[in-house]
Amino acid sequence: MANIMLFGFNEVTARKMTKILTPVLQSCGLSDESVVTFIRGSEVISTDSTNNNQPFVRICSPEVDELKRIKAVIQERKIKGEYEFLQLESFVIVQ
């Protein structure tokens, strides 16, 4: 299960990015088990040392193959942005 998290995007650009990235998950066969997350109502700001906005996308999954597939599609489609790919130690649902 991949989780795509958007940091430093306002609601409008986060929704646009979600619409761009959702087909990436679909083409990787991951749309039924993955989510795109952005925070609404509590602003998250990512800036560089000169206070310029630096939005980025963090893609997490316990499965290295999922991360590689997502990365390949993003690069193949030339979807502009800054991306972090993080392998999780595990993903657990406790009920």
Please report, for the chain, the start and end positions of each structural domain, with discontinuous segments joined by +. 3-87
87: Cβ contacts below 8 Å, ≥ 6 apart: 60, 61, 62, 63, 64, 67
Q: Are 6 and 14 in contact (CB under 8 A)?
A: yes
pLDDT digits (tens, 9 = 90+) for 78-92: 999 999 999 999 878
pLDDT digits (tens, 9 = 90+) for 38-78: 876 556 666 677 777 788 999 999 999 999 999 999 999 99
pLDDT digits (tens, 9 = 90+) for 5-42: 998 888 899 999 999 999 999 999 998 888 888 876 55
Which fold would CATH assign to domain 3-87? Macrophage Migration Inhibitory Factor (3.30.429)
Tokens of 94: 């406790």
Query: To the nearest 10°, the Cα dihedral for 10, 6, 38, 41?
Result: -40
Q: List the one residue out of 80, 88, 93 whose CA is nearest residue 59.
A: 88
Q: Give the pLDDT confidence score for residue 40 in this predicted structure.
A: 66
Q: Give the pLDDT confidence score for residue 85 in this predicted structure.
A: 97
